[in-house]
Structures are given as C-alpha cells and as structure tokens.
Amino acid sequence: MIEYGHFIGGKRVAGTSGRKQNVMQPMDGTVRGTVALASTQELRAAVENAKAAQPAWAAMNPQRRVRVLMKFLELVQRDYEELADILAREHGKTIGDARGDIQRGLEVVEVSIGAPHMMKGEFTDNAGSGIDTYSMRQPLGVVAGITPFNFPAMIPLWKIGPALAAGNAFILKPSERDPGVPLRIAELFIEAGLPAGVLNVVNGDKEVVDAILDDQDIKAVGFVGSTPIAQYIYARGCAAGKRVQCFGGAKNHMIIMPDADMDQTVDALIGAGYGSAGERCMAISVAVPVGHETADRLMEKLIPRVESLKVGPSTDASADFGPLVTKEALERVKGYVDLGVKEGATLAVDGRGFKMQGYEDGFYMGGCLFDNVTADMRIYKEEIFGPVLSVVRAKNYEEALALPNDHEYGNGVAIFTRDGDAARDFASRVQVGMVGINVPIPVPIAYYTFGGWKASGFGDLNQHGGDAFRFYTKTKTVTSRWPSGIKDGAEFVIPTMN
C-alpha cells in the first residue's frame, strides 16, 4: 500500500491533516494506496518554502535556469517506463497512451529551454532627446497550478516548465486521483539541480484549492478541469487580485463533408473519440456528417469499427483503451447513455454491458455510438467525458457550421474535406479556439498556444507557447536619461515626444 503525502522544501513529507483518501487502480478496482489531503497550514508551509527559495532562483540568469530543465529532460528519459507504468496504473490509460501523456508535457519543457530568448525585453535608443527606453520581463514570484486527473504528467509540465524557466517558484496541486507521477516529477527536478523549495507539490481537495486562491503570496493560478470549477476558480482568484487562467469543459465537433475520405475520417473518429476512454478535453465527441448520404456512409463504416474496439487493462499494449478513472466516473457515463436512449437518440452500439474477463471489478465500459442526436438533447449539450460518440446529421454545410458556433463550449473542432475553399471558410468562421483541418485532435505544437473559447476558457492568455511566458512574467519599462550638463528647468506638463 503506497502512502502519498506532499513534496515540500525539496523532499517528500507525510500529511499532517489526518485526512486522506484512497488512490484506486482502475484496471482491477483495487486500492493502490492513499493520498493525504492537505490543510491550509500545510499549503502555507509550501508557500513559505517557495517564498524563501524564489529570489535566488530568479536572480540566476535564465540560461543557467534552463540547464536544470535540460537535465530534467535527461532524467525523465531514464525513468520513462517507470513514470508511464505509474500513470497507467493510477489513471487507467494504456501504457502507450501514458507515454504520450508524458511526451506532450516534455515538449513544452523543451520549448521552455528557450527562456533566455522569451525573457528578452525591448530597447529604444534616443526615444527622446538624450532619453533611452527599455523594457524587461520579470517573474511574478510564487505561482500555482491546479491540474486534472486526465493528464497527470502533461498538464503539470505545461505549467511547471515555463513558470520555472521564467524564474518563478511553483506550487502544484495535482488531482488526488493519480498523484504518483506529479510527485516523481518533483523529485526528478530536485535531482536535476532545482533548488529545494522552488517546486512544491501539495495534494488535497477543495480546502487546499481555496487556500491557494486566498493566499496573498501566490500571485498567479492556472487551472484545467470542468467549466463550473473553472468559473469558480477564475472568479475567486481574480477577486483576490491574482492573475488567473482557467480552462474548462469541451464538446468537440468533427464536420464531415461529402467529399471527405471516409476511411480516413473513420480512423480519425475512432482514435479521437475513444482514445483514453474519451477522458480528454480534446476528444471528438460529436460527428457531424453533412448530407443524408454522407451520414449513411459514415455509419456503415463506423458501427463495425466501434463494435470491434479492444478494451483492456492498462498493461495490455494491444488495447485500444482502458478503464475509466473511477467507479463514479463509470456510473456517470453509463447514466448519460441511459439518458440518450430516453431522449430518443438511436443507440447504434451499446457498450454499457462490457465486462473484462479477469478484471471484473475494474471500471470498464465498451464504446457507445449514438445516431440521430439533436442539438436540444443533454447528451449533445453536456460533456460526457467517456467512450461515447454522438452523430448529429446536418442537411448542409451552414447547418453543420452553426452547431459548434452555437454551442456553449469552444475548445476544439475539426473538418474533414478535400475542398480547400470549404476548409478555409470553416477555419475563418468557426467560433472555436483550436481548429483541425483533416486533423481530429488539433492540439497545437508546443511553441504555439493551447486554449479554448467561450465556456472552455477564462482569462486572456493561453497555455504554453509565448503566452505562457507572458502569463508567468510582468513587464517593467524603464525610461532613462543621464545628466549632460544641460539644465532644462522644471516642467509642469505631461512629458511628450515633442
């Protein structure tokens, strides 16, 4: 039985609040360990460590800071399989998907190695007579991240990498459902040469989240999770005077034009809709074929593919996807399938009765496929976060385009077509933050930014890319003049360039 505490002051420490909860192993339903739930006092201890360590870390030149990140990348490669195994066992992802989770996080750390360039300011010589003006980027101080269960390596690294490279100290509050990898990440950073206290990991629930939001020494908070929680964190954090970025739920559409390569489309839908058991904020959960004939051709090819999906334990390298993260998540997703049937959608493939032989207590569910879903149904409006794909038939392109535009979420969207005009028009007019053209999961590469629109994102800066360094730094502008012996006398009007 593993007992997870916290990581404060450069080492693992046991929880002292007396509160804890079980960490499950979704593939067999067993208890893998327990995780301590921090008190406000434990969060405060992490903040004090971060405050003490941050000034010296910020004073180090950025090139030396990123050498720690470079060594960290080396150490992760050494321990890659260990990390993937922990992640798969605690989340339920297949080993292959767990490796991808880690890799997408490392790519942002790799881009963060460019901090010496990202941190450069601007300089104008002789902006006024004898006056030079320049700007500099400086770290905020102590910052925090609150990250979700579905990417326990990727999203913490998306936040930790640029925050540390910019000279901040970081406090991570990962999901209490799968805390093993975040704690190992902290240990590897220390092994890579990060000073103790610069990175702290505090496990917990709402009590520690509220403590983070209310602590005046924490200058910025980033969050990824559901939209209701994102709204709560954004409002409370902003009210406390913090810089806040929050990313919430999603309902990602794939528009399928009549000229689309249907085999390519179905391959894309299978991977993007059912990978990681649908527990991705970028999962395609709505397919929108344009025209009756397109819809019929899609369903003809899609049904047998969904029926033949291989569900297996996280350790099965041949499985398409594994279990859901908890029993509660499984029951919630099954409840949505029940609801869809009640609402009148056609359940073309029903995976609710799936049982994994030898793993009967695991949190498994087969792939589900709905046809004839309409925009007024809850299974269309709400994020299901499971292996459930809904097909909404559109009569024409304009009707198809209106679906993602009118939906409350605006995270990701895709169009599959051979028509460049249609693709260009779609990319221009669709009201969604990330767009794929014949790409089902349009997660930008690490030197671009990641972020949704509407109820999928709160705050004016995205994750990773240039926005990450803008979020984790503040700009200072200096106007400088050195005495030249000329005495101009007092001036009582506002300075201008005249």
> Known catalytic residues?
281
Cβ-based neighbours of 31, under 8 Å, separated by 6 or more? 1, 22, 23, 24, 25
**Widest CA span in the chain:** 89
d(CA 347, CA 372): 9
d(CA 258, CA 264): 13
State the burial class of residue 125 (Cβ atoms within 10 Å of its Cβ: 0-12, 13-18, 19+).
exposed
Could you tell me if 325 and 92 are in contact, meaning their C-beta atoms sit under 8 angstroms apart? yes
For 200-251, give the secondary structure using H, E and C: EECCCCHHHHHHHHHCCCEEEEEEECCHHHHHHHHHHHHHCCCEEEEECCCC
What letter would DSSP give residue 444? P
Q: Bridge-partner residues for 474, per DSSP?
A: 138
Among 358, 308, 332, 328, smallest CA distance to 27 is for 358
- DSSP result, 100-152: HHHHHHHHHHHHHTTHHHHT---EEEEEETTEEEEEEEEE-SEEEEE--SS-T
**Residue 394, CB half-sphere, CA atoms under 13 Å: how many?**
22
Give the tokens for residue 312: 């297996």
d(CA 37, CA 372): 44
d(CA 175, CA 149): 5
What is the helix (H) or strand (E) element at residue 2, kind and residue range? Answer: strand 2-4
For residue 226, which amino acid is it? S
Residue located via tokens 């032989």: 357
d(CA 264, CA 297): 13
d(CA 408, CA 253): 12
